[in-house]
Amino acid sequence: MEIIVQDAVSALAAHVGIPLDLRGGSCELLVGDQPFSISHDAALERLVVSALVADDLPPAPSRQLVCDLLNLGFGMMLEGSGSPAVARDPETGFIAAFAIFPLATLSPAEFPEAFDKFAAFATALADRLDAERAGMFVTQEGESPADGEPPAFAPGLISV
């Protein structure tokens, strides 16, 4: 399994054009202004990609935002490996997006594309939370989202 981890991280390093070293169990990289972390969980034989997307939820999150965040939980269940999810640290309030890639099903050659999709998801989520906090969230059509509309970020965005 160690070879799969090395090959996946090497493929990503070649893709982004910077050296990545996972020998300490994790590494970080910056995509635009968004920091990402890649961790190797040897005990559970998986790679975990994560990104801090906000310091906390907006003070009064809209019902649509709450529904969209809750819907993400089904992405992992229905889509499986690599599907993004969101969590809140109960001690700090930080909001993180993450995706789990079991080594048994991880394709090192496909990992860079999966990372790109996750990075797009995390960046869109961070932007969405910022816009919601500023009271400026609108749909792509330029209208405020109504209950029942699809989320601005898809739960099944990534599937490996």
pLDDT tens, 33-76?
Answer: 889 999 999 999 999 999 999 998 888 888 888 888 887 766 65
Secondary structure (3-state) at 77: helix
Residue with tokens 């080594």: 103
**CB–CB of 56/95 below 8 Å?**
yes
**CB–CB of 51/89 below 8 Å?**
no
Domain ranges (residues) in the chain: 2-133
Choosing among 3.40.630.10, 3.30.1460.10, 2.40.110.10, 3.40.1160.10, the CATH entry for 2-133 is 3.30.1460.10
pTM of the model: 0.78
